[in-house]
Structure 1
């Protein structure tokens, strides 16, 4: 494992911050000053600023009920509210598992382990959402939910600054249409991808604007009755299910 990756996996430092520490000569592997190109072996001892870095053997995860109007970021250059403004200071260095955009709400996972954050973010675990779209979900939309969708040279529903104009959408794992009234349709969908603004772009392709989007589940983890702006740690049974997932995917933490 590269030295910067090892540091980020076992401390609060990011890989970029680890690189800066290495450049400043503040990192040692055993008794040798580390270089950016160095790797770490199982029995190596790593020191940062003279203090030995202990390998992480446990991790913590919280479920946060993200509110609309919050940015999932460490900072925002436009001065908008970020999720860490609502969370206690002890979570300031925790990492989010993916993101929910500014106008979305619901279940957001945060963890103190970069390994866990990366593993969950890239997993094919189910994500369940409730949506309200402007317009009618017709046969064409239903077929796309069932069979998948490819878009080319299109930015509908995407962030204004995105450079991604093509996207592939896998078939939805499940969906349920609750009905339409007043020109709006409510539905529940389950997908197993976490692409940026994926659902907004999917429905925008059919000129359906997503008005409300709420994530209520991620894998075996459920939002339940957790109120907006509040958080909770995982319960013992939830940690056990998460560890089963890690073991099954041969992910070491």
Structure 2
């Protein structure tokens, strides 16, 4: 982990404050002043800030944030637009967002001080639930695609203009419910198990329907409920318990997969050795 990130993750200091401390010579590595901002902290390194040891934090903090529309989920924008870090209190500057909600979308966004947890949740197939409004009535073709899935060689409609993702495969929706419908609009609640780039906007754009409103209301059993826009809350004890169970299952599954791969490799090696043996006899 990069030095400033390591300090901000394991102390009260923000990443910007960590940069200043490094610059001022307040950070030492094994009793030697360390001014290399790009230094990658190793497992057996002893980092000190102002003479005090930095102890690696084992506790994970996760917050739920109700992201407003018109705010980017990024550290900074080259066009000067507002980001979530302009809106969030400074103590969350080093938190990592779990996935993205685009500029025009709103709702539940998880952030954590653990990059490992953020990656695990992003890569998971946990349910994501959204309320959305499109500018057309629901068609039988839309319903069929939501039930059966959809593969598009050209999924650029509905994407960001700079997106390099052209094709996309959409899994069947976990659940969908048509909540209201008029001549020029439809309101739905949909649940999907993926978090691909602008997935829902691309999906409905294929049917020439524009998403007018998109709000995430739940992620993996974590619900937005009545949390006001631009406000945060910490995970509840039950949510932390569920997270710990999820991470344990993920670790166990990874170990099983690694073991299976190793066994498969051994079997292939045995087959190869046997093949060579009979080849020599021939």
SS in 1 for 2:238: helix
Q: SS state of the match for residue 94, structure 2? A: coil
Cα gap change, 1:27 to 1:224, in 2 (>3 Å): same
2-structure distance, mates of 1:129, 1:9: 34
Deviation at 1:51, TM superposition (A): 6.8
Q: Aligned equivalents of 2:146 and 2:108: distance in 1? A: 22
1:124, 1:154 → 2: CA distance? 21
Higher relative contact order (CA 8 A, sep 6+): 1
1:10, 1:113 within 8 Å by CA — same for their partners in 2? Answer: no
Cα distance in 2 between the residues matched to 1:206 and 1:225: 33
Q: Say which structure is richer in strand.
A: 1
Q: Higher mean Cα deviation, 189-198 or 241-250? A: 241-250
Aligned to 2:157, the other structure's residue is in SS state coil
Contact between 1:28 and 1:47, CA under 8 Å: does it hold in 2?
yes
- 1:196 matched to 2:197? The reply is yes
Residue 227 of structure 1 corresponds to 228
Cα RMSD between the aligned structures? 3.0
Secondary structure (helix, strand or coil) at the match of 1:237 reads helix
- 1:176-211 residue CA offsets vs partner (Å, 9 max, x unmatched): 012311410001100010111010001101111000
SS in 2 for 1:189: strand
1:144 aligns with 2:145: yes
Provide the rounded CA distance (Å) in 1 between the counterparts of 2:145 and 2:6: 39
Please state how far the C-alpha of 1:10 moved relative to its aligned partner: 7.9
CA 1:197–1:40 in structure 2 vs 1: closer, same or farther (change >3 Å)? same
The Cα shift of 1:74 comes to 0.9
1:249 paired residue number: 250
- Structure 1 segments unaligned to the other structure (5+ residues): none
- Cα deviation for residue 11 of structure 1 reads 5.1
TM-score using structure 2 length? 0.74
**In the superposition, relative to structure 1, how do residues 81 and 39 fare at CA in structure 2: closer, same or farther (>3 Å)?**
closer
**Is 1:127 the counterpart of 2:128 in the alignment?**
yes
Residues 180 and 9 from structure 1, CA distance in 2 versus in 1: closer, same or farther, beyond 3 angstroms?
farther
Cα pair 1:10 1:54 within 8 Å, conserved: no
Verify the 8 A CA contact 1:129 1:216 in the aligned structure 2. Answer: yes
Instruction: Give the structure with higher Rg (CA).
Output: 2
More helix by share: 2
Point out where structure 2 has 5 or more consecutive residues left out of the alignment: 255-282
How many residues are paired up?
237
